[in-house]
């Protein structure tokens, strides 16, 4: 799913499966380097890697359909158990196969990258949650929207609280930039905590 115009290292749009799920402006191609790294992977296998950064250790997971989870503020064991339960799948660590994604995330956290281009696997979410995340993905780097703004834009005025709940269920923060959504009267919440939300926004030139 396309989160911007620049592609992740090793991506190749011509190899995208036309049957792969897409979500409006998030549409794109999971980097071919990930597909090629584990050719025997099945739909019941979830691969993951980790990234140590100034904001803590991030864990990134991908199914055969795309990036499915980004976890923070937890242990590797807890993250593995969580994705195994969510996907009812075998979980394997694949640092080599997911290295291009790890490098792209590191570049973002270093302030060297502002957009991503990768396919995401959001099958576990409801239609409403996907609509909220679709609209959230449209927020440009360095810009903010309120929960009410998102509700209005998806045709659900008055559903600001439901929007907040949907964002709280965002399985792939940073790639789907829910840190750019705030409350009308304050910073709002964030999966990784307010300190991390402020740090991510600061990378984009926003002081919260």
The model's pLDDT over 93-140, given as tens digits with 9 standing for 90+, comes to 999 999 999 998 998 888 888 777 788 899 899 999 999 999 999 999
Report whether pLDDT(9) > 50: no
Per-residue pLDDT tens for 46-95?
999 999 988 889 999 999 888 999 998 889 999 999 999 999 999 999 99
Q: Which of 199, 146, 191, 187 is nearest to 172 (CA)?
A: 191
Give the Cα separation of 27 and 3 in Å (integer).
Answer: 8
The residue to which tokens 């990784």 are assigned: 192
Q: What is the DSSP string of 142-156?
A: T--EEHHHHHHHTT-
Report whether pLDDT(163) > 60: yes
Instruction: Quote the pLDDT of residue 13.
Output: 36
Give the Cα separation of 208 and 205 in Å (integer).
Answer: 10
E strands, the chain, are 45-53, 56-62, 67-72, 90-93, 145-146, 181-182
188: DSSP letter: -
CATH numbers and ranges of domains, the chain = 13-109 (3.30.160.70), 127-203 (1.10.10.10)
* Active-site hit among 64, 178, 182, 203: 178
Report whether pLDDT(25) > 70: no
- End-to-end CA, the chain: 28
Instruction: Please state, for a pLDDT cut of 70, what percent of the chain lies above it.
Output: 79
Mean pLDDT of 129-154: 94
Instruction: Quote the pLDDT of residue 43.
Output: 55
**Count H helices, E strands: the chain?**
7, 6
Give the Cα separation of 139 and 99 in Å (integer).
Answer: 27
Mean pLDDT of 18-40: 34
Q: Is 29 a catalytic residue?
A: no
Q: What is the pTM of this model?
A: 0.78
Mean pLDDT of 148-155: 96
Q: When comparing pLDDT for 125 and 33, which is higher? A: 125
């Amino acid at each position: 799913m396309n989160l911007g115009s620049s592609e992740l290292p090793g991506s190749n749009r011509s190899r995208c499966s036309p049957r792969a799920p897409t979500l409006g402006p998030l549409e794109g191609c999971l980097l071919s380097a990930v597909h090629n790294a584990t050719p025997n992977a099945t739909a019941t296998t979830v691969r993951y890697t980790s990234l140590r950064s100034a904001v803590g250790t991030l864990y990134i997971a991908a199914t055969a359909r795309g990036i499915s989870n980004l976890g923070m503020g937890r242990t590797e064991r807890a993250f593995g158990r969580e994705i195994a339960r969510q996907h009812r799948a075998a979980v394997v660590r694949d640092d080599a196969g997911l290295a291009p994604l790890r490098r792209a995330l590191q570049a973002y956290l270093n302030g060297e990258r502002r957009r991503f281009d990768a396919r995401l696997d959001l099958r576990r979410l409801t239609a409403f949650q996907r609509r909220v995340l679709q609209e959230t993905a449209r927020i440009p780097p360095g810009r903010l929207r309120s929960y009410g703004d998102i509700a209005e834009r998806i045709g659900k005025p008055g559903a600001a609280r439901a929007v907040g709940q949907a964002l709280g269920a965002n399985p792939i923060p940073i790639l789907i930039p829910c840190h750019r959504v705030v409350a009308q009267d304050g910073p709002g919440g964030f999966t990784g905590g307010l300190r991390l939300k402020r740090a991510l926004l600061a990378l984009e030139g926003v002081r919260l």
